[in-house]
Amino acid sequence: MSGMPLLSLAIWVPIFAGVAVLLTGADRNAPLARMLALAGAVAGLLVTLPLYTGFDLTTPQMQFVELVSWIPRFNINYHLGVDGISMLFVILNSFITVIVVLGGWKVIENKVAQYNAGFLIMSGLLNGIFVSLDAMLFYVFFEASLIPLYLIIGVWGGPNRVYAAFKFFLFTLMGSLLFLVSLIYLFVQSGGSFSILDWHQLPLAAGQQRWIFLAFLVAFAVKVPMWPVHTWLPDAHVEAPTGGSIVLAAIALKLGAYGFLRFSLPIAPDASHELAGLIITLSLIAVVYIGFVALVQDDMKKLVAYSSIAHMGFVTLGFFMFSALGIEGALVQMISHGFVSGAMFFSIGVMYDRVHSRKIADYGGVVNTMPKFAAFFMLFSMANAGLPATSGFVGEFMVIMGAVKFNFWVAAIAATTMIVGAAYTLWMYKRVVFGDVGNHHVAELTDITPREFLVLSLLAAGALGMGLYPAPFTDIMHSSVEELLRHVAASKIL
Amino acid sequence: MEMQKLYLLVPLAPLFGAMIAGLLCRVVPRWVAHTAAIAGVAIAFIASVVIFRDVMAGHTFNGTVYQWLTSGDVSFEVGFLIDPLTVTMMLVVTFVSLMVHIYTVGYMHDDPGYNRFFSYIALFTFSMLMLVMSNNFMQLFFGWEAVGLVSYLLIGFWYTRPTAIFANMKAFLVNRVGDFGFILGIGLVLAHFGSLDYATVFDKADQFANVTINIWGTSEWSLLSVTCILLFVGAMGKSAQVPLHVWLPDSMEGPTPISALIHAATMVTAGIFMVARMSPLFELTDTALSFVIIIGSITALFMGFLGIIQNDIKRVVAYSTLSQLGYMTVALGASAYSVAIFHLMTHAFFKALLFLGAGSVIIGMHHDQDIRNMGGLRKYMPITWLTSLVGSLALIGTPFFAGFYSKDSIIEAVKLSHIPGSGFAYFAVMAGVFITAFYSFRMYFLVFHGEERFGKAHDDHGHVAHDSHDAHHADDHEGDHDDEEVSADHHHGLAPGQKPHETPWVVTLPLVLLAIPSVVIGYLGIEPMLFGSYFGDAIFINGEAHPVMEELAHHFHGATAMALHAVQTPVFWLALAGVVLSWFFYLKRPDIPAKIKHAIAPIYTVLENKYYFDKFNEIFLAGGARLLGKGLWKGGDVGVIDGMIVGGAVRLVGWIATMARFFQSGHIYHYAFTMIFGVCALLSFWLLRA
């Protein structure tokens, strides 16, 4: 196995599968396109599993490294590798792709091949982001992955999709340009290298670090998204088809957070310490402010979108406390959020496919007609509210534990999510699921199909498994997080 | 090694039962579901008995089952601590749970959610056992939240009833407020002790006795005081102490078996257990103990008052539970941890008995819960009558009954305590004795004695809100395996001319089995548990600072002497006065209460509104949160961020686009002109540079 270019496979298997799906053409070949897409997604997941089994827990070094020259003139390389920070996201992404293909099986009737191809290609590109060790390669994947997402929202989205896609584009554009400028600046400063690992060792003056940090911040904050550049997310979610929302929440939101760990902290450690207060403030605003905003949403998708922003606030908070509990807690929160928010959006999709409404007021008493679904939805709602034994608890618990050590009041503000998060989730659940049958749409509901049962079971296994036994996840992270903390603790100012 | 497998069996057997009843609830018939759940809990009970004997032989255990996760230098584990305190809780939990499981077979007989109910109560037993058996704070929190989840599911068991699904959300959220403090307390423990393992933390507790932390401004606070108060906030949520008590009366929306199991005997005592478990920390901080005793006495006194005016049979018992939880909390504050646990145990038996008795009455009355519609039931339901009498006598502290020993010890301990607040606490627990006797026997007389008021048209009583048990029936499309049609007698209340009937043996057997310990457990338990070495090292008392238990031991001359001596104490006469007064008011002269009610109308209104806690929460907290959310959303997100910043950018882009469109006119001469202009500009730029 060790001889295989596993990371290249993780990128290119889904992309080639996507192209193959695309070749099936028109919708009369839809069954073939679906089968092919599922095969591609499963193959894509299978090739990432050796990353876990073959992973060396003892080293913080990059593993499964591949290095080929790409554009020699600018010293740009096809340089891949994973460490304890990035590896799990590759597997999570490939897993979510399987979920999305299964989830859209019966629902998408229009341009089936293109839809599935879009997700497969996006899966490969997203994997590319997590495994790139060359900044230009990272940038290419980072930007290219937007195109399929943009198309998925634009083609299969809701009535207001153009506004949402445009808003999404506008926000990211601003960040991307500054990001590119900083990459070029670092290329010049480092004497002609695009290697991210070289940049980690590059000494930089305090002022330089500050500007680089802020430029990165703009790029990553939009992706996370952090308050106040978050308003594109609820709109994008509302308009996106279910699959788009799942990938957006489960994977795309993690890119910004990953950027902080791969770029901001190690390249500008002094600025990171200097500006930690800013990030922590923004994170706490995200947790509290967004929590209250989520409380009053009348659209289920918007509510879950806002709750995603609040949960991501925990991630950025965890990073900038510079402790193992904080960073590992944040990483756990990222992976857990992949399962839980993915499941929440899928659950909403299950109801939307039947009733064609996302409004809470259009439901009520769903448990009467969909008891099996109600049980799953209860599990994921509780996970969203951070109940122990679900993955949602682990990250929150670790970050709060780390925060008390960091600063009691930071922890106290963050811990309000225990109340507010439970309030918005359970209030929604009560209005949608409990009660008497609300209207004839609800009365006519049919319970989940075996396919939906399978998807929900897979996600439930993830959420519960990680909640009951998170050690296999955190064990992967230890070496790399320790190394990162060591690195960030040392000043890079000459 | 053998014992360790047994430890594991205790929580896992009910979990397995819950999985069979729950995951297969649509597949398996009822008898499989209840057999699986009952078997699971019975195995847990038997194993607990074996472990109890082993612990009594001196074999305690503290070890890890598996490592949950590690991070940095901290390791979180799932593990068991088996000592006398744990094993006492295990016995109480599994025994009461077993009784409730058997009782449920009868009580839920006609319910379409039969299998689901068994799965929940078995899951509850698992969660509660994980809570009490934990050897660390993390797992404690896991059990803590898990019992909260099951409580949520069970209060909302009849999920089509608006009151039930409101009550369960309220219960969860109020508990979360407590958990907010609890998790911060746990965080402080981890931050300063570097571990969440009980043994490690307690060993180091001494070193932190004088450590202060800077929480606010420049003032220094004792670390242990802050930590213990925060931990106790968690207990206030779970054990329903004022002002976080508001969820417990509403939790009566759930089926009666769980009111007995969860909201009386076991889950609500988790907070009491937790503080007793943390005695090595609480003992080092008088501030926290003082806080505990004051909160406890407020709960004991003021919740008792509310019990007097309730007419729903379950709510009377619920308020008495609140008041008794206050007693236990007072005992904790007085450093009489063993007394608190002792009262927890006796209370678990007699309160479960009272609740199950109330449930039996409810069945007999065909789901009418209003005590004003009852009366004279002793003729029709003799077993329920006698067992309820035993429960009531135990509750009010009749000498020789279980409740007497534990409650009297609490009162004596408070009398001896010198913690700030103990003076008020003594007044509260003494007054509480009278009030408890009064409302307990008010209910007893109204239900079992006097005029038969059932079977009449009683629309004027307006028992609408809390007793529409059958509401779920018609709407429950879910249908378990053997969903039968709504039985004819399942309307609420007795039809005119109909008589109440005694309940089947599955209901009365648990009553009898619970009545036995309600009588004898106090007499048998007091000497070893309070004054012997029963608890060993499980409870720590700082004897020099808080010599309450030591002094109490001086006054103790055996269980018989204690009971005989009781008639010379004011406590006994207060209780007797309460009973006599309620007899006089509710059997002899029923016109007097109405007159009093009229005379003290303003006070009555305050009581009827439960001191306005609910109104306050609803208007200010829930309403305020929604208003804040609306404000932030419409004002912040939509107004400022999208409206001004994003909207401004969009307008800018729009303007640029308009300009760009101007150039893309489609006229060749425009393009040609632009090209020429561009060439000119570039040329001049190049020429000027050179």
Residue B99 within any structural domain of the chain: no
CA distance A333 to chain B (A): 14
CB pairs under 8 A between A and B: 155
Does the pLDDT of residue A237 top 80, yes or no? Answer: yes
* Cβ atoms of residues A250 and A96 within 8 Å: yes
Task: Tell me the nearest-neighbour CA distance from A318 into chain B, angstroms.
Answer: 13
Q: Say whether both B332 and B439 belong to one domain.
A: yes
Q: pLDDT for A65-115, tens place per residue?
A: 899 988 888 888 999 999 999 999 999 999 999 999 998 888 888 888 888
CB contact under 8 A, A430 and B141: no
Report the first-to-last Cα separation within chain A, whole angstroms.
43
Q: Nearest CB to A388: which of B145, B187, B625?
A: B145
Given a cut of 90, whether residue A310 has pLDDT beyond it is yes
A293/B72 Cβ within 8 A = no
Q: pLDDT digits over B383-408, tens only?
A: 999 999 999 999 999 999 999 999 99
Q: Does residue B122 form part of some domain?
A: no
Contacts of B23 in chain A (CB under 8 A): none
> Which whole-number Å values give the CA distances from A150 to A27, A145, A154, A302, B308, in the listed order?
21, 9, 6, 19, 65
Q: pLDDT-based confidence at B503, cuts 50/70/90?
A: confident
Interface of B with A in 641-660 (CB under 8 A): 641-642, 645-646, 649-650, 653
pLDDT at residue A205 tops 80: yes
Residue B492 is predicted with a pLDDT of 66
Please, are residues B141 and B541 in contact by the beta-carbon 8 Å criterion?
Answer: no
Contacts of B166 in chain A (CB under 8 A): 430
User: What is the distance in angstroms between the Cα of A424 and the nearest Cα belonging to chain B?
Assistant: 10
Checking if the pLDDT of B344 tops 60, the result is: yes
Q: What is the mean pLDDT of residues B550-558?
A: 88
Give the per-residue pLDDT at A1.
Answer: 44
Specify whether B367 is located in the same domain as B428: yes
Binned at pLDDT 50, 70 and 90, residue B25 comes out as: confident
Contact: A404, B67; criterion CB under 8 Å: no
Answer whether residue A351 shows pLDDT above 60. Answer: yes
Mean pLDDT, range B608-636, rounded to an integer:
84
Task: Taking residues B585-593, report their average pLDDT.
Answer: 86
Cβ–Cβ gap B142/A389 under 8 Å: yes
ipTM of the predicted structure? 0.91
Closest CB from B180, B478, B641 relative to A368: B478
pTM for this prediction:
0.89
**Structure confidence at residue B18 (pLDDT):** 93
Residues B266 and B198 in one domain: yes
Cβ partners under 8 Å of residue A428, min gap 6: A300, A303, A360, A381
Residue A412 to residue B343: CA distance in whole angstroms: 34
pLDDT category of residue B666 using cuts at 50, 70 and 90: low
> What mean pLDDT do residues B600-607 have?
85
For residue B476, the chain A residues in CB contact (below 8 A) are 368
Give the mean pLDDT of B579-588: 90
pLDDT score of B485 more than 60: no
Q: Which of B588, B622, B647 is the last residue of a domain?
A: B588
Chain A residues with CB inside 8 Å of B149's CB?
382, 387
% chain A with pLDDT above 90: 65
Residue B1 pLDDT level (bands cut at 50, 70, 90): low
- Is the Cβ of B176 closer than 8 Å to some Cβ of chain A? yes
Using a CB-CB cut-off of 8 Å, the residues of chain B touching A436 are 160, 475
Residues B478-503: what's their mean pLDDT?
Answer: 57
| B516 and B659 share one domain | no
- Under 8 Å CB-to-CB from A331, ≥6 apart: which residues? A85, A88, A318, A395, A477, A481
Judged by a CB distance cut-off of 8 A, whether residue B626 touches chain A is: yes
Query: Does B637 contact A at CB distance below 8 Å?
Result: yes
Per-window interface: B 112-131 vs A, CB < 8 A = none
Q: How sure is the predictor about A344, in pLDDT bands with cuts at 50, 70 and 90?
A: very high
Of A365, A416, A422, nearest to B160 by CB-CB distance is A365
The pLDDT-based confidence of B466 (bands split at 50, 70, 90) is very low
Task: Locate the chain A residue with the closest alpha carbon to B185.
Answer: A404
Q: For residue B195, what are the domain limits? A: 64-78+135-455+496-588
Cβ-based contacts of A478 with chain B (< 8 Å) = 70-71
Mean pLDDT computed over every residue of chain A? 90
Residue with tokens 């597949």: B27
Nearest residue, CB atoms, A436 vs list B73, B160, B179: B160
Q: How far is B69 from chain A (nearest CA, A)?
A: 4
Instruction: Flag if A422 and B650 touch (Cβ within 8 Å).
Output: no
Please state the rounded mean pLDDT for residues B544-570. Answer: 88
Q: How far is CA A144 from CA A6, A17, A124, A168, A176, in A?
A: 21, 17, 10, 14, 12
Where residue A55 falls (left for φ over 0; alpha for ψ -120 to 50; beta otherwise) is beta
Q: Is the pLDDT of residue B376 over 50?
A: yes
Q: How many helices (H) and strands (E) does chain B have?
A: 29, 4
The per-residue pLDDT for range A249-271, each reduced to its tens digit, is 999 999 999 999 999 999 999 99
Predicted confidence at residue A192, as pLDDT, reads: 86
**Are residues B194 and B295 located together in one domain of the fold?**
yes
pLDDT above 50 (res B648): yes
Q: Which residue of B has its CA nearest to A306?
A: B633
The partner residues of A63 in beta bridges, in order of sequence, read: A82
pLDDT digits 0-9 by tens, B135-192: 999 999 999 999 999 999 999 999 989 999 999 999 999 999 999 999 999 999 999 9
Whether B488 shows a pLDDT value over 50: the answer reads: no
pLDDT of residue B671 exceeding 80, the answer is: no
Instruction: Compare all CA atoms of chain A with the CA of B479 and give the residue at the minimum distance.
Output: A368
pLDDT at A17: 92
Give pLDDT tens digits for A374-408: 999 999 999 999 999 999 999 999 999 999 999 99
pLDDT of residue B211: 85
- A296/B637 touch (CB, cutoff 8 Å), yes or no: no
AA letter at B185: G
HEC string of B624-641? HHHHHHHHHHHHHHHHHH
Distance (Å) of CA A153 to CA A7, A106, A226: 28, 18, 21
Q: What is the pLDDT of residue B463?
A: 42
Q: Does residue B591 come out as left (phi exceeding 0), alpha (psi in the -120 to 50 range) or beta?
A: alpha
Q: Is the pLDDT of residue B250 over 50?
A: yes
Residues of A in contact with B142 (CB under 8 A): 388-389
Chain A interface test: which of B15, B71, B475 (most A C-beta within 10 Å) = B71
Chain A residues with CB-CB distance to B73 below 8 A: 324
**Stronger pLDDT, B434 or B462, i.e. the higher one:** B434
Confidence of residue A2 (pLDDT cuts 50, 70, 90): low
Shared domain for B296 and B394, answered yes or no, is: yes
Contact A371 B149 (CB under 8 A): no
CA angle A291, B244, B233 (to 5 degrees): 80
Does the distance separating the beta carbons of B641 and A387 come in below 8 Å?
Answer: no
* pLDDT band per the 50, 70, 90 thresholds, residue B663: low
Same domain, B155 and B274: yes
> Is A408 close to B184, i.e. CB distance below 8 A?
yes
Domain positions in chain A are 6-489
B499 or A422, greater pLDDT: A422
CB contact under 8 A, B642 and A401: no
Contact A256, A197 (CB under 8 A): no
Instruction: Identify the closest residue of chain A to B196 by CA–CA distance.
Output: A401
B177 close to A (CB below 8 A): yes
Return the SS3 of A350: helix
Residues 208-227 (B) with a CB less than 8 A from some CB of A: 213, 215
Q: Which residues of B touch A166 (CB under 8 A)?
A: 650
Cross-chain residue pair B478–A371, CB shorter than 8 Å: yes
Q: Could you please report the per-residue DSSP string of B469-503?
A: TTHHHHH--S--TT-PPPPGGGSSSPPTT----PP
Q: pLDDT band at residue B457, thresholds of 50, 70 and 90? A: low
What are the tens digits of pLDDT across the range A136-167?
A: 999 999 888 888 888 888 888 778 887 777 77
Same domain, yes or no, for B584 and B619? no
Q: Give a yes or no: residue B510 inside a domain.
A: yes
Number of domains in chain B: 2
* Calpha distance B447→B381 (Å, rounded): 11
Structure tokens at A393: 């608890």
What pLDDT, on a 0 to 100 scale, did the predictor assign at position B608?
Answer: 84
List the structure tokens of B223: 């670390």
> Are B515 and B436 contained in the same domain?
yes
**Torsions phi, psi of B451, nearest 5?**
-65, 140
Averaged over A104-133, what is the pLDDT? 89
Mean pLDDT across the stretch A24-34? 83
Domain contains B597 = no
pLDDT band at B690 (very low <50, low <70, confident <90, very high): low
Over residues B291-311, the pLDDT tens digits come to 999 999 999 999 988 988 888
Predicted confidence (pLDDT) at residue B465 exceeds the cutoff of 60? no
The pLDDT-based confidence of B481 (bands split at 50, 70, 90) is: very low
State how far the Cα of B478 lies from the Cα of B113, in Å rounded to an integer.
8
CA-based nearest distance A13→chain B, Å: 33
CA distance B607 to B306: 6
pLDDT number for residue B664: 65
Helix (H) or strand (E) holding A82: strand A76-82
Of B260, B241, B259, residue with least CA distance to B250: B259
Confidence category of residue B491, pLDDT binned at 50, 70, 90: very low
Mean pLDDT along residues B528-547: 86
Average of pLDDT values for A410-422? Answer: 93
Inter-chain contact A170–B186, Cβ cutoff 8 Å?
no
Task: Please indicate whether, in this complex, the C-beta atoms of A408 and B72 are within 8 angstroms of each other.
Answer: no
Taking an 8 Å cut-off on Cβ atoms, the answer to whether A231 and B642 are in contact is yes
